[in-house]
Structure 1
Amino acid sequence: MSASTHVADSLPDPLSRERSHPSPDHHPSSTALRAERDHLAASRAALRGMREDVEALDISDVTANWVNAAVLEHQIELRIKALADLSGTPLFFGRLDYLQTPGTQETEGPEGERFYIGRRHVHDADGDPMVIDWRAPVSQPFYRASKKDPMDIALRRRFGYTGGDLTAFEDEHLSDPAEAARASKLLQHEIERPRVGPMRDIVATIQPEQDEIVRSGLSGTLCVQGGPGTGKTAVGLHRVAYLLYAHRERLARTGTLVIGPNRSFLHYIEQVLPALGELTVRQATVDDLVAHVEVRGTDDAAAALVKGDARMARVLRRAVYAHVSMPAEPVVVVRGSRRWRVPAYELEDIVRELLDRDIRYGAARDALPQRIAHAVLVQMERSGEAPDDRVQDAVARGSAVKAAVKAVWPQVDPAKLVLRLLSDADFLAVHAEGVLSAEEQKAILWARPARSVKSAKWSPADAVLIDEATDIVERTPSLGHVVLDEAQDLSPMQYRAVGRRCTTGSATVLGDLAQGTTPWATRSWPEALAHLGKPDAVIEELTAGFRVPTDVITYASRLLPHIAPGLTPVASVRENPGFFDLRRITDATEVVRACQELLHHEGSLGLIAADPRIPALTEALTEAGLTHLTPGDETTPETRLTLVPASLAKGLEYDYVVLDEPQAVVDAEPDERTGLRRLYVALTRAVSGLTVTHTAPLPPQLS
């Protein structure tokens, strides 16, 4: 696409804000830039007016009770926050001028119109739009129009900002065949802009293939395979924002959830949706979702593999329904002077019918007393009585029926059930027969059985088992949409835990098979989606890299044949090849020196190392007087250095990275393949430059 860039130097006196093209008497870039700055100022004033209108609302005579008043007050507070004019965040980043057909009269629709595209809708006092929300249909050509398909756009303008001030713009005349296509300089500048602090939105730089994913419908589940720097996390978050715009009423009822791998990652991304005006999306880890018990223990790899296997769902289901026993005695109900007898064979028919219906254990247990009571009412009616629903309810609540239900279909405590499975070898053997081998059963049995749920040292995998058992007993509430990031590290049982949170909704699954660093890492997306309960999900692949420089991703991609054969390498689209340095060193002081050199550049710096190396590097940084942060605490602009254990690097990004001792990263993992995947993650965290320091030989896969 053709592009011409205008940058502010000196500006003439204020000019009219008319929408006509600047006259030949004025310097075109200065005139147009001043007009755009005027529109920005007017838009900010309009946004301020919108916020003041909401703040001035009087609801004292609107609500009937204090509950409704509290709800309305909360909604107003959220609306005021959503209308905040964030400092340093451009109110609009683009402009679309639609084609005007010569000789036509003004008609409904965008023909001949001009729209400013921004993070939220802004209108003036008369209700006329000054900024159009990027999610609106009329904004779509900003992301998808091209010289090949202009989508009725005459001109697309991108704006450049410095510290919140509009300082440049770039025009693309999409409908002019005389202008050659070339890359957007402002787009490249925005992509390569230094990262300091939490993750920011990419709303100004969304690419056509990303926009197709963002604007996909709510009804279907989407899986996005994307290598490092392809923007899959940002795409997933912007998809949430789009769905809330397009289906706000529905999702307000059912809810949305973003699931990340750890708290550091969630802290890193937590500002993206608020910057887009969305404040109600919940964020959690899988561990948060299944927090039925306090997790104080860990599993070895063998135990974790078995506990995370989808076959455990069969074992748990058997163990739960094993509590149901067939009636051996009749139920005798006394009503006044009469006795009504439901024989054991009839009770058995009722129990078998409930089992055949395949409903939740708890729901069937709740239905059983009513079924028994109904059998009594049938006898009453045959004898000439005319009982009503109140009589049936009374019979169902009677002591005889309660006793029968307790004996036939007792209550099940999910945590106690899992405790018994992991503590009692005989109980486990009965319910795992034909499902788990003897070796697998032995692997998950506790060496020291716990006496109670509270005293047990539950592991994260145990908590997932309890969540599965809980769902067998009682249905887990479903949300309208769930975004699952870094999904490649989930076990099949964890996929099931997430899937039951969106059984009646949809999901966006984000991940990279090459970055799976758990023993149970995902082998294929169709297999993972089947465990999630979404086998018909559409799988999309992002291969264009916008974050990692060419030289860095090329070096890291040497590992792909060893960790994910057949996966398409990421192709960096950045013009800047980036900075890459490979250094043989003698001790930790040279690692510190590498950090000091990179701190002379603008932006954030991450020192990534194998977890066992962190204490020694902490000491070396302290001795050198270099203050540093831990992952998730990158909110202090004054401290730009973060010391990152390799196990926590996934999903994070830094302008510059020093990677210490690659072979140590590999050796810290239980097997070489997992170690190489962990190394691949660490190598691809840099946005502008990477320095690799090592005393030991590099892994041969990097040769």
Structure 2
Amino acid sequence: MPSSLPDVTAQAIREEQDFLDAADSCRKDLIDELGLQLRTPVRDRTDHHRRAMLTARVRALTEADSGLVLGRIDTDHETTHRIGRVGIPRPDGGEPLVLDWRADASRPFYTATALDPQGLRRRRHIRTSGARVTGVDDEFLTEGAGSGELVGEAALLAALDEGRTGHMGTAVATLQREQDAIVRASADSPLVVQGGPGTGKTVVALHRVAYLLFARPEIARRGVLLLGPSRRFLSYVEQVLPALGETAVVSTTCDGLVPGVATERDESREIAEIKGRALWWDALRRHVAELVPAAADLVLVLDGEPHRVSRSRLAGVLRGALAGDRSLLAARDVAFARLRDELVERVVERTAELLTSVEDGLEEILGGVDAALARADDRGVRTAASSGQVDGELSEDDIDELRRRVEADPGVSAALERWWPVQDPRRVLTDLLHDPAALALVAPELTAAEIAAVVAEPEGLSSSDIALLDAVMALIGTDPAGRRDDREPFLADRAAADHGWTYGHVVIDEAQELSPMQWHMARRRTPTGSLTAVGDIDQAESPHRHTDWDGAVAPALGSRWRRADLTICYRTPREVMALVPPILARAGSRNEPPRAVRSSGHEPRELTIEAPGLVPAVVTQVEMLSGAYPGGSVGVVTAVEHLDLLRTALPGMPVMSALEAKGLEWDACVVVDPESIAAEPRGWNALYVATTRCTQELVQLHVR
């Protein structure tokens, strides 16, 4: 502990260090105790579930070794609570030693202000490095009054001034009031969060995931799907949720959402826009409906005897099977089951007819025998037999056995398969996309030129094809035999491999980039509509036509969604945000830019260079900034035309287009050729993204 610290600060750090040591000891003891329980043999399904829960708890406790305690609240009633990433019970019971940050009792730590102290006298932010307390920051909420807009500003700004390391921090201790309200908002209907750069959209989204998994067991049982804009972005945030102790999450991109499928080629923006339109859902539904077999006489042969199902009867079977908006495969299973039942009924009826005829013949024979016996024996001897003793009906056991034979008969199965074969979704999609007549029939909204452009595309899946394929797979259905056992403990692995899996909640980051068909992809994964989408509609760079949230989400969500806004920019300094208003105006924005709350002390620098000197100028600026931020990070955002050249000149350095840089941040950023960025498709939106990637310093290089 530095000797230069004031006595009161040093004493507070010692106090929190003593508590952290005690809490860490309890954490380790709890891990050992749970480890003993995990050694108990598994006997049944209940034990499997219990073991999965214990394993998750051990993992959460193990990963909480950093930031075990992050805050403290002292109430007006002289009680004290520590807040941490996970809850730690007291060895002797009673109130928890450490409150989980998601617990209701922890909420005042994030939401109390001097205007609304919510029963708190003091809030303390505790900074740690591993198991060592490095600093504290006290706020006395009952003394004085402030604007009420920021909570724990000193701790927040200290966190923002930390160097960027390439991985997103959890920021649990510095969640702000408007952020916390979104983290804990109701998850019963879709929520769309609009936030400009630096407002903490991704932090809010990830902490909302952790909160919902903690607070809503029904969501935890099905897990959460996190959709990000790129694999690079997912790598950037991958450490956040494990640090919060949550692993029941599948994180992927829209392109990676279909198991076993990946993009195989690029596509133009024009084709991506055409294939991303909402009209494709209805078009594909019409096309898949054409794959249902026609109603015609069907002959099923059992034991060498043919049984004919009439066209009218088959039409009735099809109507019943297709009712209820079933997938094609589910309807096929229903139709097959009903036709097998029909065959069983036919065989039962035929058997009854045969037995009845045998019975009638037997009665005549028995009558003749009785007459002969009577003539031969004047005592009137009788056989005492009658046709009533011949059972003209099959028993229930006989019918069950017949049903098993029908289900196992290869000839019957082959006849049904020929009548209604299984369709390969990819083949179905490929055939449609290369058939102009079929496209004109099912998608009359497309012009002849648009159809010709789609048909001219080579085979192989592009990004927009993934969303179309997903829709075809949903309409055709998936084989339930491929589903994995519910007893498997790792939900994320199980869910990611199952195309039919539905999640308890879906979170979409950079949601403004999704096409209408990708919105349908996401919506199908949450039948309850429990969904959170975060993004900045003004940063949209996708080729799709929406310019406001209603246009973006209405095709999939209709009008059943809520909006929340993040209005405070914590990341991007005031000096840089001052450049934003004219850029947003050129982008056609209708949103108020967020208000920056911190200053970096560095005014943006602008340099103009000749084109031949581009590479040495960029290299020079990167070297200067890297020296100025040791241990931090520097990024380059450039017009697409310079990407290859600058990546060759700066190996190992993040050199990206504005689209690739979306959602990322560095201490310092060099924006290369902003005029060319603005000239790209949706270029003013792209320049808005590029300009707001830094937390400290911005350099713009104009190319003459």
TM-score, shorter chain, exceeding 0.5: yes
Corresponding residue to 2:42 among 63, 68, 75: 63
Partners in 2 of 1:620 and 1:511 — Cα distance?
33
Structure 2 residue 82 is matched with structure 1 residue 116:
yes
Corresponding residue to 1:148 among 90, 115, 120: 115
Corresponding residue to 1:611 among 632, 640, 657: 640
Q: Describe the shift of the 1:396–1:150 C-alpha distance in structure 2 as closer, same or farther (beyond 3 A).
A: same
Q: Describe the shift of the 1:597–1:478 C-alpha distance in structure 2 as closer, same or farther (beyond 3 A).
A: same
Corresponding residue to 1:529 among 532, 539, 553: 553
Q: Alpha-carbon deviation of 1:118?
A: 1.6
Q: Deviations over 1:569-611 (max 9, x none)?
A: 1111225465421222342322222222222323211122223
Q: Alpha-carbon deviation of 1:232?
A: 0.7
- Contact persistence 1:490–1:522 (CA under 8 A): no
- Contact persistence 1:489–1:522 (CA under 8 A): no
Q: Alpha-carbon deviation of 1:404?
A: 5.7
Greater relative contact order, per chain length (Cα 8 Å cut-off, separation 6+): 2
Q: Alpha-carbon deviation of 1:330?
A: 4.6
The residue identity in structure 1 corresponding to 2:428 is: L
Corresponding residue to 1:137 among 92, 97, 104: 104
Partners in 2 of 1:57 and 1:126 — Cα distance?
19
Q: Alpha-carbon deviation of 1:289?
A: 0.8
1:199-348 matched pairs, under 5 angstroms: 199-248=168-217, 250-290=218-258, 292-331=260-299, 334=302, 340-348=307-315
Q: Deviations over 1:514-537 (max 9, x none)?
A: 111111154332343333346412
Q: Deviations over 1:94-115 (max 9, x none)?
A: 2111222xxxxxxxxxxx4210
Structure 2 residue 691 is matched with structure 1 residue 683:
yes
Matched with 1:699 is none
Matched with 1:80 is 58
Q: Describe the shift of the 1:280–1:359 C-alpha distance in structure 2 as closer, same or farther (beyond 3 A).
A: closer
More helix by share: 2
- Contact persistence 1:550–1:577 (CA under 8 A): no
Matched with 1:372 is 339
Partners in 1 of 2:62 and 2:282 — Cα distance?
51
| Higher mean displacement: 157-166 or 42-51 | 157-166
| Higher mean displacement: 574-583 or 537-546 | 574-583
1:469-618 matched pairs, under 5 angstroms: 469-474=472-477, 476-504=500-528, 506-520=530-544, 522-533=546-557, 535-576=559-600, 578-586=602-610, 587-588=613-614, 589-602=616-629, 603-618=632-647
Corresponding residue to 1:45 among 22, 25, 43: 25
Q: Alpha-carbon deviation of 1:32?
A: 3.4
Matched with 1:421 is 432
Q: Alpha-carbon deviation of 1:408?
A: 4.6
- Give SS of 2:628's match: coil
- Contact persistence 2:38–2:51 (CA under 8 A): no
- Give SS of 1:312's match: helix
Structure 2 residue 67 is matched with structure 1 residue 90:
yes
Matched with 1:649 is 661
Partners in 2 of 1:121 and 1:50 — Cα distance?
11
- Contact persistence 1:609–1:644 (CA under 8 A): yes
Q: Describe the shift of the 1:179–1:502 C-alpha distance in structure 2 as closer, same or farther (beyond 3 A).
A: closer
- Considering only CA atoms, is the larger Rg found in Structure 1 or Structure 2? 2
Q: Deviations over 1:412-441 (max 9, x none)?
A: 111111111122333333433x33222221
Q: Describe the shift of the 1:429–1:291 C-alpha distance in structure 2 as closer, same or farther (beyond 3 A).
A: farther
- Contact persistence 2:38–2:54 (CA under 8 A): no
- Contact persistence 1:478–1:505 (CA under 8 A): no
- Give SS of 2:604's match: strand
Q: Describe the shift of the 1:355–1:52 C-alpha distance in structure 2 as closer, same or farther (beyond 3 A).
A: closer
- Give SS of 2:579's match: helix
Structure 2 residue 690 is matched with structure 1 residue 661:
no
Partners in 2 of 1:95 and 1:689 — Cα distance?
33
- Contact persistence 2:64–2:85 (CA under 8 A): no
Query: How many pairs does the alignment contain?
Result: 631
Q: Describe the shift of the 1:526–1:445 C-alpha distance in structure 2 as closer, same or farther (beyond 3 A).
A: same
Partners in 1 of 2:563 and 2:139 — Cα distance?
33
Q: Deviations over 1:274-320 (max 9, x none)?
A: 11111332211111113554532222222222211121222222222
The residue identity in structure 2 corresponding to 1:414 is: P
The residue identity in structure 2 corresponding to 1:422 is: L
- Give SS of 2:700's match: strand
The residue identity in structure 1 corresponding to 2:573 is: P
- Give SS of 1:498's match: helix
- Contact persistence 1:365–1:405 (CA under 8 A): no
Q: CA RMSD in A?
A: 3.0
Q: Describe the shift of the 1:10–1:63 C-alpha distance in structure 2 as closer, same or farther (beyond 3 A).
A: same
Q: Which runs of 5+ in 1 are unaligned?
A: 1-6, 13-26, 101-111, 449-455, 622-627, 631-641, 697-703
| Higher mean displacement: 580-589 or 68-77 | 68-77
- Give SS of 1:141's match: helix
Partners in 1 of 2:477 and 2:118 — Cα distance?
51
- Contact persistence 1:85–1:91 (CA under 8 A): no
Q: Alpha-carbon deviation of 1:168?
A: 3.5
Q: Describe the shift of the 1:127–1:505 C-alpha distance in structure 2 as closer, same or farther (beyond 3 A).
A: farther
Matched with 1:192 is 161
- Contact persistence 1:306–1:312 (CA under 8 A): no
Q: Alpha-carbon deviation of 1:93?
A: 2.2
Corresponding residue to 2:124 among 128, 139, 157: 157
TM-score (norm 1): 0.82
- Contact persistence 1:256–1:281 (CA under 8 A): yes
Q: Alpha-carbon deviation of 1:362?
A: 0.8
Q: Alpha-carbon deviation of 1:509?
A: 0.8
The residue identity in structure 2 corresponding to 1:144 is: T
